[in-house]
Homo-oligomer: A and B are copies of this chain.
Amino acid sequence: MTSSDKPDHVSDAPAGPKGIAAQDWATAAADPQYRAAVVDLLGALAYGELAAFERLAEDAKLAPTLADKAELAKMASAEFHHFERLRDRLAGIGAEPTLAMEPFVAALDGFHKQTAPSDWLEGLVKAYVGDSIASDFYREVAARLDSDTRELVLAVLDDTGHAGFAVEKVRAAIDADPRVGGRLALWARRLMGEALSQSQRVVADRDALSTMLVGGVADGFDLAEVGRMFTRITEAHTKRMSALGLAA
């Protein structure tokens, strides 16, 4: 729908939102495939937030000070409130939240299992990388959503302060001991690899979602466009890592 268009401005720009993006949920949801895709998307995001809550709460145990611990607990709590909003929306559109989340449990749990941080700094890098990739993904997808769903997705993307906190602590640690940078760069690479491999698993499994993500070609989805989306997200990651002082 929007794939090759000029960027869609939500404001009063001359070329307003088109297609789905110009519709509200009630209108857009008349298309059962679109509806299924949104239930998938909200289910994936909801479980992502719940898993992020658990990850951050777990990482809080690694915090070197009580203030750091409180900071991570705060982030975890923010993720939980995002989860609540997504779950409530699922219930509000008549979808069973647990059923909507189930298809994404294996991929997200797999990701977290494969990338359990072994210390505080690895945990911070993971929070930062995970959050940034999630933000990029939310933004990619927001443009393809009806106005009501878009509003929700952008609201849960709302900065929870993770990035600034993690960046500051990681930079200080690298300044104090430059060898830390090499180790964390490897770690960030591993995180990105694992994120991509789990995402591809989801894309392969969930047709309606994948079709929407790549712009909704009616007769199937464009694998090349999926690839381009992954490339954009990877490139943004690389830039962030080098800004952090880590060669990605």
A residues sitting closer than 8 Å to B (CB atoms) are 47, 50, 53-54, 57-58, 60-61, 65-67, 69-70, 73-74, 76-77, 80-81, 83-84, 87, 97-98, 101-102, 105
**Bound-complex Cα distance A70 to B85 (A):** 12
Q: Report yes or no: A83 in contact with B87, Cβ–Cβ below 8 A.
A: no
Separation of A60 and B57 alpha carbons in the complex (Å): 10
Given A53-B60, A57-B58, 14 additional A-B pairs, CB 8 A: A47-B66, A53-B57, A53-B76, A53-B77, A54-B61, A54-B73, A57-B57, A57-B60, A65-B98, A66-B105, A73-B83, A74-B84, A76-B77, A76-B80
B50 and A70 form a contact (CB under 8 A): yes
- Is B60 in contact with A54, judged by CB distance below 8 angstroms? yes
With both chains docked as a complex, state the minimum distance between the C-beta of A245 and any C-beta of chain B, in angstroms.
28
Chain B residues with Cβ under 8 A from A76's Cβ? Answer: 53, 57, 76-77, 80
Cα distance A87–B57 when bound, in Å? 18
- Complex Cα distance, B58 from A84, in Å, reads 19
Q: Are A77's CB and B66's CB within 8 A? A: no
A60 to chain B: which residues have CB within 8 Å?
Answer: 53-54, 57
The 5 residue pairs across chains A and B that have the minimum distance between CB atoms: A57-B57, A77-B80, A77-B77, A66-B98, A73-B80
- How many copies altogether? 2
A88: min CB distance to chain B, Å: 11
CA distance A50 to B105 in the complex (A): 27
In angstroms, how far is the closest chain B Cβ from the Cβ of A90? 12
Distance (whole angstroms) from the CB of A40 to the closest CB of chain B: 16
Are the CB atoms of A74 and B66 closer together than 8 Å? Answer: no
Minimum CB–CB distance for A113 against chain B, Å: 11
The answer to whether B66 and A101 touch across the interface, beta carbons within 8 angstroms, is yes
Choice from B58, B69, B83, B102 contacting A58 with Cβ under 8 Å? B58
CB distance from A167 to the nearest CB of B (A): 22
- Complex alpha-carbon distance, A83 and B77, angstroms: 11
**Nearest Cβ distance between residue A30 and chain B, in whole angstroms?**
29
**Chain B nearest CB: distance from A160 CB in Å?**
13
Say yes or no: B58 contacts A73, CB within 8 Å. Answer: no
Complex partner residue of A53 from B54, B66, B73, CB under 8 angstroms: B73
Partner of A80, one of B66, B74, B98: B74
A89 to chain B, nearest CB (A): 14
